[in-house]
DNA sequence: GGACCAAATTGGTCAGACCAAATATAAAGC
DNA sequence: GCTTTATATTTGGTCTGACCAATTTGGTCC
């Protein structure tokens, strides 16, 4: 489920999940606002606000005369989080797709950041990599530094498109994975390879090298996370269907 | 400037643009719903629906006690389109960032599609490339085939994350560029190179080759679009500030 | 079977009201 | 004077009931 505790959000969450679960076929008529108000024992205003959210997600399209359900494939990026959380634990395939995508974008960011960095920024980046190296034996301790490095590179690369995409992806995936306590086992050698690649790239100010190192790292991360999910206790998710 | 013609959408569009124009600083209090209702001469319900949309965009955060403006950098991907359309014509830097991002994702899709394609799908892809080659002298005529090819590759690659991102990006950028009538002048040799690369990659079923060809093509496209925008008549945009 | 028209349905909006949480203001204490 | 506490006000969240316009729906007539 999502965040807030208002009625309209609860209605929106419930309906969103129902659509994501394919309870309605794409193109189907969506129940009328008045019917939904009765069903949720709420006012039509609250229902309307919920539908407004669903429309923003691209899950329904409303028109005078009635609303219709749209294809999940045509939805907004913001449905990824709810989609992944549908069954309580993430769909391994979806996680893999996320990591591949996030990896490509992060590699691009690293490349651009290294290429565009000013001398001072380059020093800052190197420092962050060094700090990362100091904690390369503790996965947990690495996380804050890792985030810091990504943030710094993102700032330097200064690509708003990627930043906005990453906002959505991170908000929906990374936090979710953390919450679920998925700890990928990454080979020490893989991390060393990444750090070395980043360092070399920064020293030569060659973004290609840094980007390639990042890309390779995500490749390994994909495998590691896949393993971690596979062996995870799949607690049966308790979810009211209403 | 957006789509629908309802009052709540108009309010949302106006307020969204004001936020994107930095009329409010991040962290500022947002006007109260009642004040906005007076200002727009609308009911509070309509204003609330508008604010609900802004919240979905990640531009404001509402709480009992008052709403606050959030940083554009923390917003949802869906603000890109409005952001680009703010001054009537697209910000060249933003367009370039879009093309770079879209290029990386499309290259990834091409690579995965070619690698994952079944024999029949491979034949279909080759056919689409051939059709594209048949019209390689007419930019306009290429567009539908180009879209068809991208759609086919997207279906085969079957990466929902990329698909959702592309939905948003395409909806916000491509259509906008088309509407503005921006016609990048792409060298014939560049197109031939792309088509050749795709063909070779498909024949060998080597996604790396196809992906690389796609990547190179977008590189050239970036330059061409940059030129096209630079020399475009910049009609002064007429926008009421309310 | 297809074109046309009336009735029911549905989304969009409005007005006025109440509650609970958050904020601002005034009062009390030091 | 300054902090703390209590009070009043503002603000978002919700409800009820109503009206309009656009769309669907269903029946009628050719």
Tens-place pLDDT, residues A112-161? 999 999 999 999 999 999 999 988 888 778 888 999 999 999 999 999 99
Using the CA of A35, which nucleotide's C1' is the nearest one?
C10
Q: Which nucleotides of D are covered by protein (CB under 7 A)?
A: 10-18, 21-25
What is the three-class DSSP state of B2?
A: coil
- Which chain B residue shows the shortest CA-CA distance from A101? B162
What domains can be seen in chain A, in order of their start residue? 7-75 (1.10.10.10), 80-230 (1.20.120.530)
pLDDT at res. B231: 67
- List the structure tokens of A75: 């939805």
Q: Which of A114-118, A123-127, B149-153, B168-172 has the lowest mean pLDDT?
A: B168-172
Please name the residues between 85 and 104 in chain B that touch chain A, using a CB distance below 8 Å. Answer: 94, 97-98, 100-101, 104
Residue A4 touches chain B, beta carbons under 8 Å: no
Q: Which residue has the tokens 């009911």?
A: B43
Let me know: does A72 contact A60? Beta carbons within 8 Å.
no
pLDDT at A236 over 60: no
pLDDT at A238 over 80: no
Q: What is the DSSP letter of A22?
A: T
**With an 8 Å Cβ cutoff, are B168 and A97 in contact?**
no
Residue range B132-142, pLDDT digits in tens = 998 888 877 88
**Chain B positions in Cβ-Cβ contact with residue A161 (cut-off 8 Å):** 80, 94, 97-98, 100-101, 169
Nearest protein residue, CA measured to C1' of D20: A64
Nearest protein residue, CA measured to C1' of D23: A65
pLDDT at A7 over 90: yes
Residue B116 touches chain A, beta carbons under 8 Å: no
pLDDT at A2 over 70: no
Residue B22 touches chain A, beta carbons under 8 Å: no
**Chain B positions in Cβ-Cβ contact with residue A57 (cut-off 8 Å):** 56
Residue A241 touches chain B, beta carbons under 8 Å: no
Separation in Å: D10 C1' and B74 CA: 28
Pairing of strands A60-63, B60-63: unpaired
Beta bridge partners of B69: B60
- List the structure tokens of B102: 């879209």
Nearest one of B207, B171, B154 to B84, comparing CA atoms: B171
Other beta carbons within 10 angstroms of residue A171's beta carbon come to 16
Residue A162 touches chain B, beta carbons under 8 Å: yes
- Which chain A residue shows the shortest CA-CA distance from B91? A160
Q: Which residue has the tokens 């503790």?
A: A138
Helix axis angle for A92-116 and A188-203, nearest 10°, is 30
Distance from C-alpha of A148 to C-alpha of A160, rounded to nearest angstrom: 18
pLDDT at B233 over 70: no
């Amino acid at each position: 489920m999502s965040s807030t505790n208002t009625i309209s959000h609860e209605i929106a969450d419930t309906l969103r999940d129902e659509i994501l679960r394919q309870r309605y076929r794409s193109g189907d008529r969506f129940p009328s606002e008045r019917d939904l108000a009765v069903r949720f024992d709420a006012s039509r205003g609250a229902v309307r606000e919920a539908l407004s959210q669903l429309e923003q997600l691209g899950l329904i399209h409303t028109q005078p005369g009635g609303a219709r359900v749209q294809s999940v494939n045509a939805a907004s990026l913001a449905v990824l989080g709810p989609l992944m959380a549908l069954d309580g634990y993430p769909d391994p395939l979806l996680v893999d797709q996320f990591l591949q995508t996030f990896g490509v974008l992060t590699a691009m960011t690293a490349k651009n950041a290294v290429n565009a960095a000013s001398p001072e920024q380059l020093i800052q980046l190197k420092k962050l990599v060094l700090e990362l190296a100091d904690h390369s034996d503790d996965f947990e301790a690495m996380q804050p530094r890792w985030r810091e490095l990504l943030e710094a590179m993102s700032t330097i690369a200064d690509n708003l498109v990627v930043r906005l995409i990453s906002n959505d992806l991170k908000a929906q995936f990374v936090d979710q994975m953390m919450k679920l306590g998925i700890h990928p086992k990454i080979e020490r050698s893989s991390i060393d390879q990444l750090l070395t690649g980043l360092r070399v790239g920064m020293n030569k100010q060659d973004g290609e090298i840094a980007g390639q190192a990042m890309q390779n790292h995500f490749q390994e991360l994909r495998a590691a996370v896949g393993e971690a999910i596979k062996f995870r206790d799949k607690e049966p998710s308790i979810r009211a269907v209403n």
